[in-house]
Structure 1
Amino acid sequence: MRKFKGFLMPMLLALLCPVVLWAQVSVSGTILDSKNSPVTGASVRLRNSTIGTSTDATGRFSLNIPSNSGQLEISSVGFKSQTITLGTIEVANMSIKLEEDAGKLDEVVVTGLATNVKRRNLANAVATVSSKELAGTAPAQTLDAALNGKIPGAYINSNSGAPGGGISVRLRGVTSIFGNTQPLYVVDGVFIDNSSTPAGLNTVTQAAAAGNPANQDNPSNRISDIRPEDIESIEILKGASASAIYGSKAAAGVVIIATKRGKQGVTRFNISQDLGFVKPRKLLGARPLTEQRVIDQEWNVEEYRAAVAAGKIYDYEKEIYGETGFTRNTNFSMTGGSDKTTFYFSAAQKDEEGIVKYTGYRNSSLRLNVDHRITDNIKVGFTSNYINSSSDRSLTQNDNAGVTLGVALSSTPSFTELHPNSVGEYPDNRYAASNPIQTRDLVTNNEKVNRFIFGINLDAILYKSPKSVTRVVGRGGVDYYGLKTNAQFPSTLQFQEVAKGTSIQGFANNLNTNYIISLVNNWNPSDNLGLTTSLGMTQEKHEFDNLLNTATQVISGQTNVDQAGALTPVQFRTKNKDDGFFIQEEATLHDAITLTGGVRFDKSTNNGDPDKYYAYPKASVSWNLSRLGLGENNLFDNLKVRAAYGEAGNFPAYGSKFTAFIINNIDGLPGSIVDRIRGNAAIEPERQTEFEAGLDFTILNNRLSVEFSWYNKVVKDFLLQRTVPPSSGFALEWVNAGDLRNRGIEIGLNALVISKPNVKWNTTVNFWKNRSEVTKLVIPPTVLGAFGNTLGTFRIEEGASATQIVGIDEGSGGLAVKLGDQEPDFQMNFWNEVNFFKNFTLRFLIHWKQRGDNLNLTELLTDLGGTSHDYDDDKNANRIPDGIDRINQLGVTARPFVQEAGYVKLREIALYYNFKVGWKNIRGIRLGVSANNYAVHTDYKSYDPEVSNFGSGFSTGVEVMPYPSSKRATFHISVDF
């Protein structure tokens, strides 16, 4: 392979040298819709070349092309594409009218690392999200949150409501249990890191001391750094049949992000300002107290009487979680350029306060995208993005030491005094291990990121003839960030009496580099046959270095870790390299039948054998019956059947092939001993195979389109840790433990409901469901991911759902039985856009998740603490308070903690008004108001059914006193110059 690379690179560079020069002519015109309104941002490109531009706000374009050019291709989202044949003379002031494309049949979709196809001939169900859908309604705080409810086949969950993000994304069911569960994100050809780096809070909270050993620090994930406002479009390759060409990184799906690019013409400016506020979506409420209830709880009656007499009964939940946070989002952008060079620049800052005092999120970003056409045959593009972010996340979620805000509140009655006195001294909390007011005010939990992303794209035509075009396409770049976590627990805190002050400071450096070099040949031997051949090679490198310093006995008033009596450093480093090469062939017959076949070969230093290549094939067929004339004059305007098969992989967990050494101290002497987890030198990647079939059609003159997909996704050799005999000297061992299967359907409907001069209504409805099953398990059933059989846990066993929740139940004899399933019955979304009276636009998104269970321990903790708002209710009329009823079931059944988490959410709603201004320097003004997460219908008994306190891995849907979710309202103003 090394010799092959050494031969290919010089050959490609040599082929890039020839430059063909042509005489130039000018082509100009205006692109209009069916109502003679200008189409902004329409793409105008010279076929089989790198020459192209976009229309401005008035629909105008101007392009210099070689005099012997043949055809212009004109396309825009929501419209049918057009091809215009040009002569050799100059063509000026053309007027081109585009037809609406409600079914998005002419939308171009990625089919390979350097190839694409129109949706009408696409063989896979590829979801797309436009900039309008992503950030044009009610912008969410982060990119991953903005995707929620918009992707058919996805299960997206917020880990908590803490500022700065923290989202888990699962495409078409369970992909892995111990391996990577999150999709690969590719931004302008750059592979983006999306890991979560903990801040070491478990040292204080002891959250991992029992139950799930996974980290529960509530860190944010790094895809949240990317600003949604800079994104032009997103494509989601949900299964292996679509993502196979990405090989061993694609098992969990691929999210391909294209950011905004420059447009030829006069330099245009935009300034936008969003101002708003956030409030808690829901608070659980305080328990009404009486003297008898205080006595029953064995609380201090005299303290209660004194508080009542002084009028000092507090709602501490509202005081801590009930802040109204101010939000500000400022963005400046400019775009322009010549026929040779175009640019897009943006400078933006987002600053949001949280619903807990002293929490918030700040993101500052600079972006510069430049595209330059060196010759008519060679074009290069550069992408650069600098991000600086800071999030203050407070101290919430699971806790075995009683110190986080929610856990302390769960046992704190409303009459005890927690506020500081006149000199700033906080009283100890008599009823919990910490004073939550003191913790909120004095604890620091900050996460700062400096990130730089740089990418380069090369598109060069090496050879061109009337029937064949050969191109070289190169993409890649660098993703680097430095992350600093800072957690400070002063010695004055109630729970720091033993540690006498703790300072935890972490430093992480992450470097991702990747490149993709592709050779693509398009050959059209006739009008009825087109062949696209692509081959190339890829490489990805990843280096991560995290140093976490935990200092105790910190000198009062100091924060440096060297100003302490004891210091414990922990360092975690990873380094891996992945290489691959691929070949793919696409054949199009009569612009109706599309056949695709390809294979990718990958190797990785994470595999047991780092030099072994694994093959990931793909094949698909799409048959557009309407394009062949079948079914003409019948019900269908367009009818297509399709089928696709593909394989993708998931590298083994880093270090799983090695047996590690861990630090040990014997008689004061440091040394290394063998870890209790035995490595497996024969470990192999998890492999995913998927077969997908579908039927797509449009009716009513293309005003109604329907897309139906069925898939069968099999994950083979998934990773688990198994118990080994104690005589081996180890406790656990990494193994490829079994297989699991996901089956599901996805149905999408898009309709142009009304199209009148004063009213236009577009609607999209999606339905999707998934069912998983563990089909093979070579080790005994494995319990993992939660709190054990008494409170409920996940269990991997052959023949059962991969997301089942088990626990003890009445009559089970102490054995764990299935009590629920984290997977929803189904999900639906309803997206609507209504344009009326020309200048008004109303958009809204409704998201429906039917059932699906969470493990909720929040209610248990408030019951045990005697603070549940409904503790004294008697809904079953058995004369026993409901709180006591629930406590009495502890140890008898885990069923009360497995709670249905379905909902119907009005995720986004917005009303905008567009002013068309005739002033000299101002082209338009856009005003709007929006609301996000403002209306939710659910029977779930806690803050929000969307919760996952155990992070973004396998164990989603687990809740223990999270940072509550919030709702937001925003006013928008945008001015175009």
Structure 2
Amino acid sequence: MRNYYPLAGIIMMLLMLPQALFGQTTVRGTVTDASSGNTLPGVSVVVVGTTVGTTTDGTGSYTIQLPETTGKLQFSFLGYESRTYDVTAATTTLNVRLQEKITSLSEVVVTGLATTVKRANAANAVATINSKEISGITTPQTMDAAISGKLVGANVVSNSGAPGGGIAIKLRGITSVFGEAQPLYVVDGVILDNSSISAGLNAVTAAAAGGNPSSNQDNASNRIADLNPDDIESIEVLKGASAAAIYGSLASAGVVIITTKRGATGKTQVNFAQDIGVATVSNLLGVRTFTEERVRDTYGASAVPLFLEAQRTGQIFDYEEELYGNNGMLYNTRLNVSGGNERTRFFVGGLLQDEEGIVKHTGYNKKSLRFNLDHTLSDRFDFSLSTNYINSSADRGLTNNDNAGVSYGVSLSSTPSFAYLFPDEFGVYPDNPFAASNFLQTRDLVTNNESNDRFLGGLTINAMLYETDMSTTKLVLRSGIDFYNLRTRAIFPNTLQFQSEGRGTGGASIQGNNYNLNTNFAAFLVNNLSVSDNSLNFTTTIGATRENFNQDQVLNVATKLIGNQTNLDQAGAVEVNQNRIKERNKGLFFQEEMNYRDRIIATAGLRLDKSSNNADVNDFEAFPKFSLAVNLGNFDFWQWESINLFKLRAAYGESGGFPPFGAKYSSLVAFNTGGQAGLLPFTQRGNENIQQERQKELEGGLDVSVLDSKVIFEGTIYQKTVSDLILIQNLPQSSGYLTQAVNGGELRNRGIELAVTVRPVETDFLKWESRTSYWVNRSEMTELDIPPFALGGFGNTLGTFFIEEGESVTQIKGIKGDEGVQKLGDAAPDFQMNFHNFLTIKNNLSFSFLFHWKKGGDNINLTQLLTDLGGTSPDYDDDDDGDGETNAEERVGALGVTAEPFVQNASYLRLREIGLYYTIPATALQSVFGTVVRDARIGVSANNLFTITDYDSYDPEVSNFGGNGLSTGVEVTPFPASRRMFFHLAIGF
């Protein structure tokens, strides 16, 4: 008898098919990034409560069939917040936008020159900042401003508030006294030059003629400011030698790795954003209220008639408000286009930035164009191209240190409110009888401009050489170029009060041309080997690098200008200075990484470097690194399900610091006697045995994640020792030289870094993520082989940095009455904290803010002393302690007796950023624009909205002498900081 059961089963299935189809719902849609609008391939789409699921394709699209007519769809993707939606029989299309997680243990961080690792497996403490934190809250003027207050383990200080940026960053304390103290910047594999190049203002201000020997007091900006913050996808900071050892001697002060935005597979996306804002001065000191008696006591009887006439005619002016009270308009326009397919992806980003300063005739203008391309040639070959052209112009005014009394602030400090400084109907300014310059005339007639054209280009080629189920070997080739032409132009007409005949140089035209060309090349072989059913993985990297640095700086100072001419050849005297720097570095690199089931992750590496700056150019310096991470939460014995990560980690590494360029040579300088030109030895003798500085750092840490990453704790302790410290030693005059660079000391930094990230609320209505960080660093000069010496500041009378064995490297010393020279303070903070919060209401309304608290850390404040000496301090006549002596009399009376009043606590609590944005619902957009407009967002934001501090000047965050050495926290009438407020509009097509 024949068996008909199979046929019957088929017939029953066919009969039930219509009923089954009737009881199902098919949903289609596209998943995109909520911030950028880029499509997201590989997103998991699952029917909640079932095993039914799918993933989005290369264009971010998906199609899924629910077993029932209603249900819930859950969308999840690595690094993004999961979303769940209700689905009914009427739901046929569901487009989803996923929000990126602010903190994710699954994000990828750098472990080598050609390898990465999940953050959950990293053995080093790597600070990361994503695009939302960089430019997603408010619009920073420059990239350096975008990271202020956000880097755990860093001390970030603004050189001044002048347009165009300028900051000093120190990662985990001081790493060098006379060497490079700023971190290395790498953008898409391109080593970036971050020089601060003097505009030559010292020829007029005589800034370097005072007690501070710093060669750069011209308030120059850093070249890292050229980058467009909106182009940046993420920033990783390798703070210590254990992480930065992969870059060898270039990493003496840490490494900042910047990754820019790239295209994604899917429909071409067009994003337009317009920001309109205003900049106002954050804080004004105020002005002194004068009476006839106060005028007579301060300026003498001859000034009384001038005061009485000004009082009678109502011509009492608030010159501080007049000088710093401009409301600068801020315009920032951005247009990004991105897209691609499975083989080719592109990103094009454009920026037009036009910002006015809080001082008239100052401002910042930048144009930037970026083109990034990724292309897959075949299954074995692909490449990535990154290019960026920037044109910028910064009018920075005339501020900061000045020993000639001609800058805005110094001349303002001695000018009372009853002086008349405005021009007449013919545009002629009166002389300022109380100062060397009429600062309104200086503001209106002086030019101090930095203009720059820059090109950055990087190319990475990946070639798969060998591939099996167990092993792959690929070749990575990388090259980069950084070229810029920076032009500085400072014009001081001879009509200025301080440049007129008999008072100055008869006018000055100071023009600089600076050419910089950096190239870097690298080649790596990377092998991945998996054994024991992929439970044990090895990654082996071997490679070579080469870096070439070429800088040619020409500075021309023309004085005794003819009439109103500004050409260099239209002057009575011309001085030419040229400084050329060439460096050639070569490196070899080996690294082995081992991962056992994400439980034990170990890394060992070795970097070999040689450089033209070394005493022996053929000598390789070796820099090893070791690290170990143990994820106890991944072991089978782990029983606490609520703790999904419990990682212990330890790392050790070494890095170097090149000797300063030319330190091994005895230089020659030109001289002229009786018309005969010749060369003379420079005052510093070369040291043919000079060695690199060497850092050795040991760090340990604990990372804990609780309740599916709702609470994440990260803690790190470290000790970093810098030996063979390069110092400048005084020589006996009988040697024929004054100084010599020597290896003469050792310093140590110890610190703690703590961070807690929590998601206290995570519902469909409200999502709240909060991160609190704490960090502290203590330095000590553990050895000093030369006599103690002062460095920076204004000498013992006003306070100076002092290097001596057994003390903090950043201590400030000065006279203290009968006690003699004593320690009066320290520029290093007691600790720093930040409090970063992101709140989202119903996926449409977002609110974010960042508080930054710096406790302790002292500044040498000369601004207050200058206003006291000039008789203009706002509290000049107050008597806070009620002893019958005014505040100003007490401070001025301390001059020469004690430096205590001038070394001041610079603690502050600052609301660095705050932003409120509303994303217009898609249904509302479709009803008006159809499918043309993809999304739209409006918002308001502010930067530096308020600062709480007891510091007695414009801003406690100041570093007038630049940031490469120890002289941070020194203030002489800086360009005040500004408060920036914006309205934002962003539209996606």
Contact kept, 8 Å, 1:31 with 1:38, in 2: the verdict is no
Q: Closer, same or farther in 2 for the Cα pair 1:30/1:149, shift >3 Å? A: farther
Q: Closer, same or farther in 2 for the Cα pair 1:41/1:782, shift >3 Å? A: farther
Which residue of the partner structure matches residue 12 of structure 1? Answer: none
- Give yes or no for the alignment of 1:277 onto 2:268: no
1:427-465 deviations in Å (ceiling 9; x for gaps) = 111111111011001000001000001110111211110
One-letter code aligned to 2:399? T
Q: Distance in 1 between matches of 2:379 and 2:255?
A: 32
Rg bigger for which structure? 2
Q: With structure 1 as the length reference, what TM-score do the two structures score?
A: 0.91
One-letter code aligned to 2:520? N
Equivalent position SS for 1:562: coil
- Give yes or no for the alignment of 1:514 onto 2:520: yes
Q: Closer, same or farther in 2 for the Cα pair 1:818/1:369, shift >3 Å? A: same
Shift of 1:956: 0.6
Shift of 1:887: 0.3
Q: Distance in 1 between matches of 2:506 and 2:223?
A: 33
1:332-386 deviations in Å (ceiling 9; x for gaps) = 1101112111110011111100000000000100111011100012110111100
Shift of 1:60: 3.0
Equivalent position SS for 2:773: strand
Q: 2:314 aligns with which of 311, 314, 319?
A: 311
Shift of 1:601: 0.1
Q: Closer, same or farther in 2 for the Cα pair 1:128/1:297, shift >3 Å? A: same
Q: Closer, same or farther in 2 for the Cα pair 1:697/1:417, shift >3 Å? A: same
Q: 1:474 aligns with which of 462, 469, 477?
A: 477
Q: Distance in 1 between matches of 2:423 and 2:943?
A: 35
Which residue of the partner structure matches residue 230 of structure 1? Answer: 231
- Give yes or no for the alignment of 1:328 onto 2:331: yes
Q: Closer, same or farther in 2 for the Cα pair 1:359/1:37, shift >3 Å? A: closer
Q: With structure 2 as the length reference, what TM-score do the two structures score?
A: 0.90
- Give yes or no for the alignment of 1:541 onto 2:553: no
Shift of 1:630: 3.5
Aligned length: 919
Shift of 1:540: 0.4
Equivalent position SS for 1:785: strand
Equivalent position SS for 2:782: strand
- Give yes or no for the alignment of 1:950 onto 2:952: no
- Give yes or no for the alignment of 1:559 onto 2:560: no
Equivalent position SS for 2:120: helix
Q: Distance in 2 between matches of 1:39 and 1:331?
A: 15
Contact kept, 8 Å, 1:538 with 1:580, in 2: the verdict is yes
Shift of 1:796: 0.9
Q: Closer, same or farther in 2 for the Cα pair 1:945/1:58, shift >3 Å? A: farther
Shift of 1:522: 0.3
- Give yes or no for the alignment of 1:975 onto 2:987: yes
Contact kept, 8 Å, 2:41 with 2:58, in 1: the verdict is no
Shift of 1:476: 2.0
Deviates more, 1:830-839 or 1:964-973: 830-839
Contact kept, 8 Å, 1:719 with 1:736, in 2: the verdict is yes
Q: 1:866 aligns with which of 863, 868, 871?
A: 871
Which residue of the partner structure matches residue 850 of structure 2? Answer: 845
Shift of 1:100: 9.1
Q: 2:905 aligns with which of 900, 915, 925?
A: 900
Alignment of 1:35-50 (within 5 A): 42=40, 44=42
Which residue of the partner structure matches residue 653 of structure 2? Answer: 646
- Give yes or no for the alignment of 1:617 onto 2:627: no
One-letter code aligned to 2:984? H
Q: Distance in 1 between matches of 2:698 and 2:270?
A: 47
Which residue of the partner structure matches residue 177 of structure 1? Answer: 177
Alignment of 1:134-533 (within 5 A): 134-214=134-214, 215-299=216-300, 300-497=303-500, 498-526=504-532, 527-533=534-540
Q: Closer, same or farther in 2 for the Cα pair 1:798/1:746, shift >3 Å? A: same
Equivalent position SS for 2:708: coil
Q: Distance in 2 between matches of 1:852 and 1:77?
A: 37
1:913-941 deviations in Å (ceiling 9; x for gaps) = 11123222110001010010011101111
Contact kept, 8 Å, 2:58 with 2:342, in 1: the verdict is no
1:747-804 deviations in Å (ceiling 9; x for gaps) = 1111111011110001111110000001111001111111111100001111000110
Equivalent position SS for 1:874: coil
Q: 2:895 aligns with which of 874, 878, 890?
A: 890
Which residue of the partner structure matches residue 11 of structure 2? Answer: none
Q: Distance in 2 between matches of 1:548 and 1:513?
A: 24
Equivalent position SS for 1:385: strand
Q: Closer, same or farther in 2 for the Cα pair 1:451/1:768, shift >3 Å? A: same
Equivalent position SS for 1:216: coil
Q: Distance in 2 between matches of 1:667 and 1:38?
A: 69
Shift of 1:189: 0.3
- Give yes or no for the alignment of 1:696 onto 2:703: yes
One-letter code aligned to 2:714? E
Equivalent position SS for 1:219: coil
Shift of 1:98: 9.6
1:75-97 deviations in Å (ceiling 9; x for gaps) = 5434699xxxxxxxxxxx99999
Contact kept, 8 Å, 1:914 with 1:926, in 2: the verdict is yes
Which residue of the partner structure matches residue 18 of structure 2? Answer: none
Equivalent position SS for 2:337: strand
Contact kept, 8 Å, 2:246 with 2:607, in 1: the verdict is yes
1:564-612 deviations in Å (ceiling 9; x for gaps) = 1110000011001000011000001122100100100000001111111
Q: Distance in 2 between matches of 1:127 and 1:449?
A: 30
Report the identity percentage: 51
Equivalent position SS for 1:408: helix
Structure 2 unaligned spans of 5+: 1-26, 45-54, 64-74, 84-92
Contact kept, 8 Å, 2:39 with 2:59, in 1: the verdict is no
Q: Closer, same or farther in 2 for the Cα pair 1:646/1:42, shift >3 Å? A: farther
Q: Distance in 1 between matches of 2:41 and 2:607?
A: 32
Alignment of 1:790-829 (within 5 A): 790-813=797-820, 816-829=821-834
Contact kept, 8 Å, 1:160 with 1:948, in 2: the verdict is yes
Q: 2:938 aligns with which of 923, 927, 933?
A: 927
Which residue of the partner structure matches residue 124 of structure 2? Answer: 124
RMSD (Å) for aligned C-alpha atoms: 2.4
Equivalent position SS for 2:817: coil
Shift of 1:267: 1.3
1:715-742 deviations in Å (ceiling 9; x for gaps) = 1112111101111001111011211000
1:127-148 deviations in Å (ceiling 9; x for gaps) = 1100000000012111011001
Q: 1:77 aligns with which of 57, 66, 79?
A: 79
Equivalent position SS for 1:208: helix
Q: Closer, same or farther in 2 for the Cα pair 1:935/1:531, shift >3 Å? A: same
Q: 2:756 aligns with which of 749, 761, 770?
A: 749
Deviates more, 1:96-105 or 1:749-758: 96-105
1:533-559 deviations in Å (ceiling 9; x for gaps) = 000000000000011000011111211
1:883-937 deviations in Å (ceiling 9; x for gaps) = 0110000011111111000111100000001112322211000101001001110
